[in-house]
């Protein structure tokens, strides 16, 4: 009996359309990524497993700019250095990772 009830609940939850699921999902008025500090924290969390903490730490400070409802977050090279830095684009409204790359 319990298993049938659990399976029924799961099938209902997973069978709901995105519109039905979103009816009950709160979205903050300024989106899930409302400011540059939040965008930087998300970008760093995404970059660390990809490029390593040592590499990412060497690219501080990070800069976040809002363009077309998405944050573009980049690292900074020390003066005189040639190369690229990590770059991430993050959706302001939903926090989706739109792009991750690293310059050369």
Q: H helices of 1-51, where?
A: 2-15, 18-22, 36-51
pTM: 0.76
- Give the Cβ contact number of residue 2 at 10 Å: 6
41 belongs to a structural domain: yes
> Domain for residue 3, yes or no?
no
- Identify the pLDDT of residue 39: 98
pLDDT digits (tens, 9 = 90+) for 52-96: 999 999 999 999 999 999 999 999 998 888 889 999 999 999 999
Cβ atoms within 10 Å, residue 62:
21
Strands 63-67 and 70-74: antiparallel
Q: Which domain holds residue 40?
A: 27-102
Residue 53 lies in a domain: yes
Task: Return the biggest CA–CA distance within the chain.
Answer: 70
**What pLDDT, on the 0 to 100 scale, is given for residue 80?**
87
pLDDT at 15: 54
Is 56 among the domain residues? yes
Q: What own/partner pairs with CB < 8 Å and gap ≥ 24 does 77-85 have?
A: 85/59
d(CA 52, CA 13): 37
pLDDT at 16 over 60: no
With respect to residue 9, please indicate whether it lies within any of the assigned structural domains. no
- In this structure, is residue 2 part of a structural domain? no
In a domain, 14, yes or no: no
Residue with tokens 């609940």: 9
Average pLDDT of the chain is: 86
Number of domains observed in the structure of the chain: 1
Task: For residue 10, tell me if it sits in a domain.
Answer: no
The residue with greater pLDDT, 8 or 50, is: 50
pLDDT in tens, 17-48: 555 555 778 999 999 999 999 999 999 999 99
């Amino acid at each position: 009996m319990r298993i049938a009830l659990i399976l029924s609940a799961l099938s209902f939850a997973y069978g709901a359309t995105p519109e039905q699921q979103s009816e009950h999902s709160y979205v903050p008025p300024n989106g899930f990524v409302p400011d540059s500090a939040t965008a930087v924290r998300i970008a760093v969390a995404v970059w660390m497993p990809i490029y390593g903490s040592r590499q990412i730490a060497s690219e501080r400070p990070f800069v976040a700019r809002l363009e077309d409802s998405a944050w573009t977050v980049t690292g900074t090279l020390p003066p005189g250095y040639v190369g690229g830095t990590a770059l991430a684009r993050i959706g302001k409204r939903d926090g989706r990772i739109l792009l991750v790359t690293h310059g050369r």
